[in-house]
A and B are shown apart, each in its own frame.
Chain A
Amino acid sequence: MLPPAIEIDRIAKRYADHVAVRELSLTVPAGAVYGLLGPNGAGKTTTIRMMLDIIAPDQGSIRLFGHPHNAPGVSDRVGYLPEERGLYRKMQVRRALRFLAALKGVRREVADRRIDAWLDRLELRTPAKDWGAAKVDELSRGMQQKVQFIGTLLHDPDLVILDEPFSGLDPINTQALKDTIVELKRSGKTVIFSTHVMDHAERLCDGVCIIARGEKVLDGSMAQVREEHGGRTVALALDGGSANGVAEVLGDRALVERVDDSNRWFEIELAPGADPQLLLRRLIERGAAIQRFELVQPSLHQIFLQRVGAAPTEVRGDA
């Protein structure tokens, strides 16, 4: 049995005027795709930076592949794509990539071979034009993102850490990134990415950790998380929109904890101890024309709102 790719034990990071991360522990099994979810300013980036030994935690320990995260050679097995992306603007693309590979100890010939393969694969090198020979600032934003992504994977890392990888990507590149993440998982790599878009996490992740205000709200495998939150959510669709009486029923706090009106249907979170059958009866009594009434597994989005949305979130741009 492989040691977990990441084991974080009660780490914390305090700054002078706020606490970015407090007492955070989590475990990411090897070979998993793992989502680090949280609102802006929850401490995702700080957590990631601590994993990468870019900043040191005030307390706690981090182990990667069973070794302390700052042990020699460990960082060579990790690939990192930061949220704010950029490369040396005046540098030739190929040289910039070679430099990133050299930092990870990849030999020049190996690096060159991989760079060519990646440039071909991401269509940055075609018979008409070799963007590898261009300077970074001659590339479009989308192309620069691809180059940076290549830089993350050039040394064939066992653990790939992506901070908000989907932000700013067009649908085509988003799909390409999803495909690559799946492919990395198939070849036995561990991928952890942060996002606040629940849909991406829901589709890709084997496990998730939701953090807010620097603290872990929940974590576990996707199935486990949904299981824990199942049976309390009702999908309700009405014919002809909601009548007045329906709003009254849904506003009953003894029955309904929260309603998310998604226009075509309502996603209803039941109040603790409330009986879904009672809700159905009350709705019919009020003359609602029901198209759909279904006990569903809550979406990650719902779980997120339920667990995080209750309290106001601290919003800071730099955390």
Chain B
Amino acid sequence: MRRFGAVFAREYLERVRTRWFIIATVFGPILLSALIVLPAILGTRAARQTRLGETVILDATGTELGARVAAAIADPSRSEPLTDVRRVTAGGLAQAEAEATAAVMAQDRRGYLVLDERTMAGLTTRYAGRDATSPPMMERLERALSDAVLSLRLENEGLSVDQVESVTRVRPRLQAEQITDRGRGGSGMASFLLAFVVALYLYAAIILYGQNVLRGVMEEKQTRVAEVVLSSVSANTLLAGKVLGVGAVGLTQLLVWTVSGVAIYRLREPLMATMGMSAPAAMTLPDVSLLVWVVYLAYFVLGFLFYAALFAAVGAMVGSEQEAQQAAQPVMLLIVASVVFMQPVLLDPAGGLARTMTTLPFSSPILMPMRLSMVPVPPGELAASLVVLAASCVAALWLSARIYRVGILMYGKRASLREVARWVRYA
């Protein structure tokens, strides 16, 4: 036990101490918050950059249209110079346009908008300016125009200003909500997102830390440290200490990320307020019970053990980095296969394919948590999946320990499958 502790502590501390780990662990949450905040920042920035207030409106309609458009595009939160509305006659339009063009070229104005009979007829309106290619600005301009034309027409038909206001104010916003067997369960988008994030994290963590185990085994074999260590501890202890030490590193990272992720989510409104932004549309967290979190954790631990055992066996079989890449391909293929099936399972999380893939041990650690966060899974299926995975884990660890015990002391070329089969029999 003391020796297991020494091996475990070394594996854990040497990894947690690395610059790479610290950066990844600290920057993970920062990246996550950036993903939440960045779209908001970019959105705000884009809106600010379309400074429609600096536009000249050349109004040749002889109506209030110019003034209404100006009021609609004015940004109430900013004290920009008010949009310049010039009433011109149809004959003076050419002259006014030339002047406006000169102003835009001299960078006094961003652009100019021409309103005439064709605008009132609802046909076309001309805009010329430096930002004529910016879709958000053109969209805003179009909406302001159609609103202004519509309300002007309604008033001409005899409606009062207030009536027009109440008739035209239509701003629907779709809010989708998920319904599960247990009732309403937060927004559908959020469940989907959570499922995706959980699957992706498990996938990334298993590859990352599984390969970490492979490299660790290979290093001990290549540098021949294994021989010294094995004179003090048994191969099984060394393997267990290594796999669990690396797994603990993964758990540590997961813990830091989860805690900071939840904290960022909870504090997102004050956080964004300090940056001068309003929080994005409230997204209710899906209703995930503690039990489900425990199940996620179980899949992470078992999935990691399963793949770490396979990677450790590969590490013990090979003699160099290049050989390792080749020999690890079958294992990688198993993981990648799970990801290939991610989309079909996402689309039909209760279908036959999803049920099969969440029972097979190589894909269940990634796909079952995903399925679980989208639809309720019958307890029987969940239990069967966990039992199959746990049994496969035991088998993989047993096999790996036998390969490891012999392979770690075999130097030279990569062992053939027949040799490895012999190791398993004799060890």
Contacts and interface: CB of A to CB of B under 8 A. Distances in A.
Nearest to B223: A86
Given A86-B224, A102-B6, A103-B6, A78 B231 contact: yes
Contact of A54 (B2, B222, B227): B227
Contacts of B222: 86
B227 A82 contact: yes
A203 to B, nearest CB: 27
B249 to A, nearest CB: 15
A196 B214 CA distance: 35
Nearest to A86: B223
A76 B233 CA distance: 10
A58 to B, nearest CB: 10
Given A49-B409, A55-B409, A103-B6, A87 B232 contact: no
A136 to B, nearest CB: 9
A16 interface: yes
B223 A52 contact: no
B229 interface: yes
A86 B225 contact: yes
B14 interface: yes
A82 B229 contact: no
Contacts of A49: 227, 409
A89 B216 CA distance: 11
Contacts of A52: 230-231
A74 to B, nearest CB: 11
Contacts of A151: 228
A89 B223 contact: yes
A53 B231 CA distance: 7
Interface string A36-62: 000000000000010011110000000
A192 B401 CA distance: 31
Interface string A86-109: 111111000100011011110000
A72 to B, nearest CB: 11
A95 B229 CA distance: 14
Main SS of the interface on chain A? loop
B14 A91 contact: yes
Nearest to A75: B232
Contacts of B227: 49, 54, 80, 82, 84
A317 B231 CA distance: 21
Contacts of B228: 80-82, 100, 148, 151
A88 B231 contact: no
A244 to B, nearest CB: 49
B183 interface: no
A82 B224 contact: yes
B231 A84 contact: no
B232 A104 contact: yes
A19 to B, nearest CB: 14
B223 A87 contact: yes
A148 B3 CA distance: 19
Contact of A318 (B3, B9, B230, B410): B410
A148 B231 CA distance: 14
B3 A88 contact: no
A54 B412 contact: no
A103 B225 contact: no
Interface string B394-411: 000000000000000111
A82 B409 CA distance: 12
A81 B225 CA distance: 10
B177 interface: no
Contact of B231 (A75, A90, A102): A75
Contacts of A18: none
Contact of A103 (B232, B409, B410, B411): B232
B422 interface: yes
B97 to A, nearest CB: 71
B224 A84 contact: yes
Nearest to A103: B232
A85 interface: yes
A151 B223 CA distance: 15
Nearest to A70: B234
B268 interface: no
Contact of A89 (B6, B7, B219): B219
Nearest to A161: B231
B409 A54 contact: yes
A80 B6 contact: no
B10 interface: yes
Contact of A87 (B3, B6, B225, B422): B225
Nearest to B5: A102
Contact of B2 (A16, A53, A84, A105): A105
Contacts of A86: 222-225
A54 B230 contact: yes
A52 B230 CA distance: 8
Given A89-B219, A318-B410, A54 B14 contact: no
B409 to A, nearest CB: 7
Interface in A140-165: 148, 151
Contacts of B229: 103
Nearest to B405: A55
Interface of A: 16, 49, 52-55, 75-76, 78, 80-82, 84-91, 95, 99-100, 102-105, 148, 151, 317-318
User: Which 4 A-B pairs have CB atoms at the shortest separation, nearest pair first?
Assistant: A86-B223, A102-B6, A103-B232, A84-B224
Given A102-B2, A103-B7, 5 more contacts: A49-B227, A75-B231, A76-B232, A100-B228, A102-B9
21 contacts: A49-B409, A52-B230, A54-B227, A75-B231, A76-B232, A80-B227, A80-B231, A82-B224, A84-B227, A85-B224, A86-B222, A86-B223, A87-B223, A88-B220, A88-B223, A88-B225, A95-B10, A100-B232, A103-B7, A103-B233, A104-B232
